[in-house]
Amino acid sequence: MLFGLKSLGVFMGGIYGEKGGFDVGEGAGGGRVGSVWSRILDVGKCIDRSGLDFSGSFRKVVGEGRDTRFWEDVWLGDRPLIEEFPRLRRLESSEGGETISEKGVWVCDNWGWRWSWKREPRGRELGELVRLERRLAGWEPRRGKADSWVWNLDVTRGFSVKKLRELLAGVGGGVVGGGETVWALFVPKKVNVFMWRLRLGRLPLRVSLDKMGVDLNSVLCPRCGDEAEDLDHALLKCKAVRTLWSKIGVWWNNGVSGIDSIS
pLDDT tens digits, residue range 208-233? 898 888 888 999 999 898 899 998 88
**Residue 16's pLDDT band (boundaries 50, 70, 90)?**
low
**Residue 91's pLDDT band (boundaries 50, 70, 90)?**
very high
Quick: pLDDT tens for 18-38.
555 545 444 444 434 455 556
Taking a C-beta distance cutoff of 8 angstroms, is the pair 115, 128 a contact?
no
Taking a C-beta distance cutoff of 8 angstroms, is the pair 92, 117 a contact?
yes
Cα–Cα distance measured from residue 227 to residue 248, given in angstroms and rounded to the nearest whole number: 23
pTM above 0.75, yes or no: no
* Predicted local distance difference test score (pLDDT) of residue 3: 40
Instruction: Please name every residue paired with 230 in a beta bridge, in sequence order, or none if there are none.
Output: none
Cα–Cα distance measured from residue 16 to residue 29, given in angstroms and rounded to the nearest whole number: 21
Quick: pLDDT tens for 44-73.
777 787 778 887 888 888 999 999 999 999
Total Cβ atoms within 10 A of residue 119? 8
* Predicted local distance difference test score (pLDDT) of residue 159: 82
Taking a C-beta distance cutoff of 8 angstroms, is the pair 147, 60 a contact?
yes
The angle at the Cα of 187, spanning 194 to 254, to the nearest 5 degrees, equals 90
Quick: pLDDT tens for 145-177.
999 888 888 888 888 877 887 787 776 555 555
* Predicted local distance difference test score (pLDDT) of residue 54: 82
H-type helices in 50-123, by residue range?
81-84, 86-91
